[in-house]
Structure 1
């Protein structure tokens, strides 16, 4: 399993990287079908102030699962995006057959 965290046009944050890794470890423990995870943090000018974007691309056998969210804080964006990924993985796991 590989994890790639990228900060797009913003400075790297060790605290945010650690927070994200902790959340992903829980996700990996729950879903063993995950092959790789790519995470992108972006900053967008939004008049509402919800410009902290987190995009998560989760690669599983046979397909990819993607979730993106924009919130006031990056930590909250990570939390919401991982919750969306969990929902999608639950659906995929129910459909997948084990041989």
Structure 2
């Protein structure tokens, strides 16, 4: 799986990038045929609470699945995005099994 990380309006640290790659890689346990994962990190209105916007787009055969969360930290956002994506992947996997 290819993981692409985009940080908008700031530079993501090495530690944050490693954290993201580790978390997103766990999605392969839920669904093996993931070809791409794209993570976008954005700081919205700096100096306010809940200003870190995290989005995760996963490409699976024939479809793209998308999740977006807004939190206080990017780590929290990634955790929530990965959890939500696991649910979507599980539903997608069940749909494809029935076909």
Give the alignment's TM-score, normalised by structure 1: 0.91
Give distance in 2, aligned partners of 1:15 and 1:46: 21
**Closer, same or farther in 2 for the Cα pair 1:48/1:9, shift >3 Å?**
closer
| Unaligned ranges ≥5, structure 1 | none
Deviation at 1:29, TM superposition (A): 2.9
Q: Which runs of 4+ in 1 moved over 2 A?
A: none
Corresponding residue of 2:19 = 19
Give distance in 2, aligned partners of 1:84 and 1:30: 12
Deviation at 1:68, TM superposition (A): 0.4
1:67 to 2:49 alignment: no
Corresponding residue of 2:93 = 93
- Helix, strand or coil for the counterpart of 1:96? helix
For 1:24-63, list aligned pairs within 5 A. Answer: 24-45=24-45, 49-63=49-63
| Unaligned ranges ≥5, structure 2 | none
Give distance in 2, aligned partners of 1:28 and 1:16: 20
CA RMSD of aligned residues (A): 1.8
Conserved in 1, the CA contact under 8 Å of 2:30 and 2:89? no
